[in-house]
Amino acid sequence: MVNRVLASPKGPELSELVQGYWRVSDWNLSPQERLTFLKQHIDKGVTTVDHADIYGDYSCEQLFGEALKLDRSVRNHIEIVTKCNIKLLSEKYPNRKVKYYDSSAEHIQHSVNNSLAHLGVEHIDILLLHRPDVLMDADEIASTFAELQKSGKVLHFGVSNFTSQQFDLLQSRLSSPLVTNQVEINPINFSAAEDGTLDQLQQYRIHPMAWSCLAGGEVFSGSSTQATRLRITLEDIKEEIGAASIDQVIYAWVRRFPSKPLAIMGSGKIERVQSAIESLKLNLSREQWYRIWTASKGIEVP
């Protein structure tokens, strides 16, 4: 069963597993097939979906919107997370000379309006600043967020890939609490657990959203010594805990952080979603958890 959880003490409610749509442009699905996939994961309890304006060279929100248009009632059963502030080099923006970040009021407003139009919805449940931007002005962002909330275009705000200091700086100027920090967490890269990011979220009782839990597939296919070591350990633990696959062991490992990350799944295959759901009943002992830590680092804890 996929539980509903409060992302932060005052909400909003999300599903404990989230479906990511970064790769939807690679799935080669028709609008009807996209709708079927969406309905299938909603029926299983995965109601929160993760997007960004830039995914698929600015195409993924539109692909999702095309599917939603086929059955408008589906909007009432999902929570949409999307992001802004990265400006990609793209043929769609021929005058841009470099990839950069833009957290100005003008760009955030513009990006939200585009996301609403592409998704074909009237509001975004959670808007995240995608990356920390050294030029971001917390006061300007605070007034922009307040306007977006007042207009009903965005219900809640969060950040992604922020350090704990950047999180506190922005929060200090906002009138409503940030509800998440979406960060990379997987057995290959869990720096967020070591640089204070997850500690801060535990302190504030905010669930991190965890991206690339399977390291984008690297855990399965990587040829580095680290990935090879990890696969051996994950296979051993899979047998010990009666998991069906090593991805289930990884999801159990990610869930074990005391900040209780909400894992974002990246596959468009419903059987992989089902496998992640089944992993929710699995638990790792501390020793098993640290065996994966050790396999990742290649050394024992100090």
Ligand X SMILES: NC(=O)c1ccc[n+]([C@@H]2O[C@H](COP(=O)([O-])OP(=O)(O)OC[C@H]3O[C@@H](n4cnc5c(N)ncnc54)[C@H](OP(=O)(O)O)[C@@H]3O)[C@@H](O)[C@H]2O)c1
55 is catalytic: yes
Q: Given the complex with ligand X, which of 146 and 229 has the nearer CB atom?
A: 229
Q: Given the complex with ligand X, which of 141 and 287 has the nearer CB atom?
A: 141
Report, in Å, the least distance between residue 247 CB and ligand X. Answer: 5
Please name the residue ranges forming H helices in the chain. 31-43, 55-58, 60-69, 105-119, 138-150, 164-173, 197-204, 218-221, 225-241, 246-255, 270-278, 286-297
Of 96, 73, 170, nearest to 127 (Cα)?
Answer: 170
Q: Given the complex with ligand X, which of 36 and 143 has the nearer CB atom?
A: 36
What whole-number distance in Å separates Cα of residue 144 and Cα of residue 157? 11
Using only C-alpha atoms, the chain has a radius of gyration, in whole angstroms, of 19
DSSP track, 62-85? HHHHHHHHT-GGGGGG-EEEEEE-
CB 265 within 8 A of CB 15: no
Q: Given the complex with ligand X, which of 193 and 265 has the nearer CB atom?
A: 265
Report, in Å, the least distance between residue 294 CB and ligand X. Answer: 21
> Tell me, what DSSP letter sits at residue 6?
E
Report, in Å, the least distance between residue 161 CB and ligand X. Answer: 5
Q: Given the complex with ligand X, which of 21 and 157 has the nearer CB atom?
A: 21
Report, in Å, the least distance between residue 50 CB and ligand X. Answer: 4
Report, in Å, the least distance between residue 300 CB and ligand X. Answer: 26
Question: At 30, phi and psi to the nearest 5?
Answer: -75, 165
By CB atoms closer than 10 A (0-12, 13-18, 19+), residue 94 is: exposed
Q: Rounded to 5 degrees, what angle do the CA atoms 127, 132, 138 make?
A: 75
Strand partners, 263: 17, 210
Which positions lie near ligand X, rule CB under 6 A? 20-23, 50, 160-161, 182, 211-217, 220, 245, 247, 264-269, 272
Q: Given the complex with ligand X, which of 279 and 299 has the nearer CB atom?
A: 279
Q: Look up tokens 């597993």; give the residue.
A: 17
Of these residues, 21, 55, 58, 101, which one is catalytic?
55
Report, in Å, the least distance between residue 231 CB and ligand X. Answer: 11
> Tell me, what DSSP letter sits at residue 122?
S
What whole-number distance in Å separates Cα of residue 83 and Cα of residue 266? 16
Q: Which residues are catalytic?
A: 55
